């Protein structure tokens, strides 16, 4: 049986013709299986949606209760049958509720990774390599130059800077879903026990993490603090807010940005970032090239990112690989940031390798 008989790339996204479903479709479809809650993968307007409880929760927060005609919860490790196709969700380690989707039929097993990382994250279930025939991987950081440093080492740079400049506030630009909560959890893990302040666009998503059992310590809203009270503090905000008039409420703010792209110093300079933090929720080059052989896949498909370098790496090791060049994933760094953070908006957190 050919892999193309089970999953095939289409303008709507990756499609399973025998069962009539799509994985992370970029346009409305009748049946959608969603890997995680970021807006470039989880969109509104589908008929039936199958996803983890956390992903469905985030979709409701962003799009409302009627984002799909019907929804069904997928539990990690539980195999469901969709028109004779076996489907199993497994942890992807990307954000809370993120999943790889394993699809099996007639002895062929294919795994769609969605976005993933292979390093420990205190805010979500850890990535699990799945033995398969075909591994469908992202390649956001699919170049050898992208080797991410140890996350706790990066977060200690932030904590050391706060201690060095107690009269200044530190504003950390981070994606509202996943990255912000991980930065907070890492700060707690590094021993920072003071209150951490949140931009209004961060509040609902972050408190939802807490409701799901993720311990983030004491959190406060920026809007409830005076300028003097914000001296010597850490505040999380969407990246676009770093260039917004919102920053004027802070005393001598130090701008920081947590992203895998901060490995590229030119990006930090373009954004005016004083303290870049290389913290990524995607697998780096070493993570990608360790995961592929761990799956035992005899073929690799690459959905989006730096496909060519990873494809070459696979082929030099005797693993057939092909780029799918799917459109619509990881193309924007847009956040709906309101000048008045008191609105507690839910930002658009589609990611370019955050």
pTM: 0.93
78 CB neighbour count, 10 Å cutoff: 10
For the domain made up of 3-145+281-323, give the CATH fold: Metallo-beta-lactamase; Chain A (3.60.15)
Which pLDDT value is given to residue 354? 55
Residue indicated by tokens 């990690």: 76
Q: Strand pairing partners for 139?
A: 305
Strands 134-139 and 170-173: unpaired
- What contacts 230, CB < 8 A, 6 or more positions away? 169, 197, 222, 249, 250, 251
The SS3 assignment for 28 reads coil
Which pLDDT value is given to residue 343? 36
- Return the CATH class of domain 151-277: alpha beta
Largest CA distance in the chain: 67
From 158, 165, 168, 222, select the one nearest 192 (Cα to Cα): 158
The tens place of each residue's pLDDT in the chain, 354 residues long, gives 799 999 999 999 999 999 999 999 999 999 999 999 999 999 999 999 999 999 999 999 999 999 999 999 999 999 999 999 999 999 999 999 999 999 999 999 999 999 999 999 999 999 999 999 999 999 999 999 999 999 999 999 999 999 999 999 999 999 999 999 999 999 999 999 999 999 999 999 999 999 999 999 999 999 999 999 999 999 999 999 999 999 999 999 999 999 999 999 888 888 889 999 999 999 999 999 999 999 999 999 999 889 999 999 999 999 999 999 887 886 443 333 333 333 334 555 554 435
Contact predicate 176/205, CB 8 Å? yes
Domain boundaries, the chain: 3-145+281-323, 151-277
The torsion angle over the Cα atoms of residues 246, 250, 253 and 259, rounded to 10 degrees, is -50
Which pLDDT value is given to residue 211? 97
Which pLDDT value is given to residue 349? 53
Exposed / middle / buried, residue 132 (Cβ in 10 Å: 0-12, 13-18, 19+): buried
Which pLDDT value is given to residue 333? 39
């Amino acid at each position: 049986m050919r892999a193309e008989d089970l999953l095939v790339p289409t303008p709507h996204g990756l499609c399973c013709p025998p069962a009539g479903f799509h994985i992370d479709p970029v346009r409305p479809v009748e049946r959608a299986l969603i890997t995680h809650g970021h807006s470039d993968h989880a969109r509104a307007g589908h008929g039936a949606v199958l996803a983890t409880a956390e992903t469905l929760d985030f979709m409701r927060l962003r799009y409302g209760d009627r984002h799909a005609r019907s929804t069904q919860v997928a539990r990690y490790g539980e195999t469901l049958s969709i028109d004779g196709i076996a489907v199993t969700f497994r942890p992807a380690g990307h954000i809370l509720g993120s999943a790889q989707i394993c699809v099996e039929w007639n002895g062929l097993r294919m795994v769609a990774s969605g976005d993933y990382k292979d390093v420990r994250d205190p805010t979500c279930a850890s990535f699990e390599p799945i033995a398969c025939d075909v591994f469908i991987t992202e390649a956001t950081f699919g170049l050898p130059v992208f080797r991410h440093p140890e996350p706790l080492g990066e977060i200690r740079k932030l904590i050391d800077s706060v201690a060095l400049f107690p009269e200044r506030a530190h504003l950390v630009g981070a994606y509202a879903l996943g990255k912000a909560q991980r930065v907070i959890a890492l700060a707690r893990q590094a021993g920072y026990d003071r209150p951490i302040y949140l931009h209004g666009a961060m509040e609902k998503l972050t408190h939802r993490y807490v409701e799901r059992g993720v311990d983030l310590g004491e959190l406060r809203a920026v809007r409830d603090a005076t300028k003097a009270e914000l001296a010597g503090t850490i505040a999380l905000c969407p990246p676009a807010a770093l260039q917004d008039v919102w920053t004027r409420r802070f005393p001598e703010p130090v701008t920081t940005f947590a992203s895998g792209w901060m490995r590229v110093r030119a990006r930090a300079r373009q954004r005016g970032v004083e303290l870049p933090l290389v913290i990524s929720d995607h697998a780096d080059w070493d993570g990608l090239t360790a995961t592929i052989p761990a799956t035992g896949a005899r073929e690799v498909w690459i959905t989006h990112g730096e496909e060519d370098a990873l494809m070459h790496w696979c082929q030099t090791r005797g693993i057939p690989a092909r780029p799918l060049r799917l459109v619509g994933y990881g193309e924007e760094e847009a956040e709906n940031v309101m000048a008045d953070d008191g609105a507690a908006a839910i930002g658009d957190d589609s990611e370019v390798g955050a």
